[in-house]
Amino acid sequence: MNDRKESSPLGAGGLNTTVLIIDDDEDILLSARLFLKQQVKQVITCKSPKEINVLLSKNEVDIILLDMNYQKGASDGREGLYWLEHILSIDKDYVVILMTAFGNVELAVKAIKKGATDFILKPWENEKLFATISAASKLRESNRKVKKLEKIHKSLQKDMTRGFEHIVGEADVIRNLQNTLLKVAPTDANVLILGENGTGKQVFAYEIHGNSQRKNQVFMHVDLGSLNENLFESELFGYVKGAFTDAKEDKPGRFELADGGTIFLDEIGNLTLPLQAKLLSVLQNRTVTRLGESKERKVNVRLITATNMPLNEMVSKNTFRQDLLFRINTVELLLPPLRKRGTDILLLANHFMQVFSSKYHKELRSLSTQAKNVLLNYSWPGNVRELQHVLERAVIMSDGNEITEQDLQLSPQRFAQNNAIPDEMALGDMEKLMVQKAIDKHKGNISKAAADLGLTRAALYRRIEKFGI
């Protein structure tokens, strides 16, 4: 292959653009290369249009300067029009500028109709060439943004069927997590969110994104637990047309679609070791390679991951790569189970009651005392997600303006053992009883009792003093 590349640092006013120039005249290539290498990010030159496929597959080209005549004595431009159509058949969004020393108005009009962006005569004035390249560069960037938005919209339809909830809670452990979140969110540090299923890992991930410098860019949620090994690479890294039987068009992966924004990889603990290695390579190099091509594409994403699995134990058992764990857990957030969040259960229940009352056009205003007792004594194996589903069902089933114990329909097998609370007990008495039971359960160990209640030691001591325990 007789192509040549030249790259140079961009100076003031330089274009962040890669230009491919195809012309059989070596003097033309040299002249264009010497001038443009000072104006653009990279210049690639080639003498034969037969190399187009290879060059485009290996390089991220923005603008193509294409001569219209290659055979000796040819001047009608038919070759240029043929190769123009060929380039646009590869990708209709390529920006192609045709060049010829035998220009006429009819040929220029024909070229534009076939998809050329502009038409320039040889020999050119450098100022005119730069102005043409500059306008083409803006067009290419605009096309790229439109195409990305279209792909994002299509890819995210299933993820946007419901809105995100904000963090609701006043327990000390939740307040501490929120403080940490506000510190880490403005940075680009990788965050690992740990916790049982249903504790709100996705909500926290979205809150990090919403308080970050990338909040106006895409938030891409990827459920790794739902991807098998065959889909992993194509879904995350994309593919090109013909890469496999059903690959009928080029498709960017989730990393490309999230470029500039945040990618949230949920259930990362479910990845097999080979898939962990592939993901680690992308995270280290900040590039992806679509299936079916060798070209590396740079990606700029904020990484948030989550799992309910014990990754440190998995590392010791050689089922999770230690180097991948180091890469993803610059900051760790450990979300508590709902059963350890005390009266946050009632805050969340009221929040969900309001949300679903509005959704289903009900006028529910409160929870009955019995309903509050039931909610506080239930073990919540499904955590916040289960509470949300229970309240949605209760709102639908309720006939009055308050939710009753019967509306909740909670299984009696899932209540805490020996922890029944009298129906008419006040909330203050409920909290006192919960504190006393936690202390008794752990035989006076304040650290363990505080952890069980989802409180700090200082907060538990305040309650002990408050209740005279």
Q: How does DSSP assign 66-116, residue by residue?
A: EES--STT--S-HHHHHHHHHHHHH-TT-EEEEEESS--HHHHHHHHHTT-
What gap in Å lies between CA 296 and CA 287, rounded to an integer? 6
- Domain total of the chain: 3
> Residue 433 has what pLDDT?
75
Other CB atoms within a 10 A radius of the CB of residue 253 amount to 24
Residue predicted with more confidence, 11 or 324? 324
Lowest mean pLDDT among 17-31, 48-62, 161-175, 294-308: 161-175
Give the Cα separation of 244 and 423 in Å (integer): 63
Answer yes or no: is 155 within a domain: no
Shared-domain flag, residues 140 and 275: no
309: Cβ contacts below 8 Å, ≥ 6 apart: 269, 270
Q: What is the CATH number of the domain that holds 330?
A: 3.40.50.300
Indicate if 234 and 368 belong to the same structural domain. no
Based on the fold, state whether residues 128 and 214 are members of the same structural domain: no
The pTM of this model reads: 0.62
Together in a domain, 197 and 328 = yes
* Nearest residue to 7 via CA among 41, 45, 56: 41
What pLDDT score was predicted for residue 286?
A: 94
Instruction: Of 419, 464, 418, 462, give the one whose Cα is nearest residue 439.
Output: 464
Q: Which residues of 114-131 are buried (b: 16+ CB within 10 A; e: fewer)?
A: ebbbbbbebebeeeebbe
Assess whether 330 and 427 both reside in one domain.
Answer: no
362 occurs within a structural domain? yes
pLDDT value, residue 466 = 75
387 and 306 in a common domain: no
- Do 264 and 387 share a structural domain? no
In angstroms, rounded to a whole number, what is the distance separating the alpha carbons of residues 243 and 234?
9
Q: Are residues 422 and 329 in the same domain?
A: no
Whether 157 maps to a domain, the answer reads no
Model pLDDT, residue 14: 75
Mean pLDDT confidence for 164-180: 87
- Check whether 71 has a pLDDT greater than 90: no
Note the pLDDT of residue 330. Answer: 95
pLDDT band at 161 (very low <50, low <70, confident <90, very high): very low
What sign for the dihedral angle of Cα 267, 273, 327, 300? negative
Residue that wins the pLDDT comparison between 211 and 441:
211
| 255 and 300 fall within a common domain | yes
- For the stretch 101-131, pLDDT in tens is 776 667 777 888 888 888 888 888 888 888 8
Please check whether residues 181 and 140 belong to one and the same domain: no
Residue 44 lies in a domain: yes
Looking at 302, 334, 366, the residue that finishes a domain is 334
What is the pLDDT, as a whole number, of residue 6?
Answer: 67
CATH number of the domain residue 66 falls in:
3.40.50.2300
Q: Which pLDDT score is estimated for 424?
A: 42
Q: State which of 279, 304, 334 marks the end of a domain.
A: 334
For residue 428, give the CATH number of its domain.
Answer: 1.10.8.60
The CA-atom distances, in angstroms, between 247 and each of 236, 242, 289 are 15, 5, 15
Q: Does residue 151 fall inside a structural domain?
A: no
Q: Which of 315, 334, 353 is the endpoint of a domain?
A: 334
Same structural domain, 366 and 408: yes
Are 62 and 56 spatial neighbours (Cβ–Cβ below 8 Å)?
A: no
> Measuring CA to CA, how many Å separate 254 from each of 350, 387, 438?
36, 31, 45
Give the integer Cα–Cα distance in Å for 62 and 89. 16
Q: Is residue 242 part of a domain?
A: yes
Mean pLDDT of the chain: 85
Q: Which of 281, 295, 377 has the alpha carbon at shortest distance from 323? A: 281
Q: What percent of the chain has pLDDT over 90?
A: 46
Chain segment 416-443, per-residue pLDDT in tens: 543 444 444 455 666 777 788 778 777 7
The secondary element (H helix, E strand) that includes residue 194 is strand 191-194
Give dist(CA 124, CA 213) in Å, integer. Answer: 44
Answer yes or no: do 81 and 226 share one domain: no
Look at residue 150 and tell me if it is in a domain.
Answer: no
User: Domain containing 351: what range?
Assistant: 338-467
- The answer to whether position 183 is within a domain reads yes
Res. 413 pLDDT band, cuts 50 70 90 = low
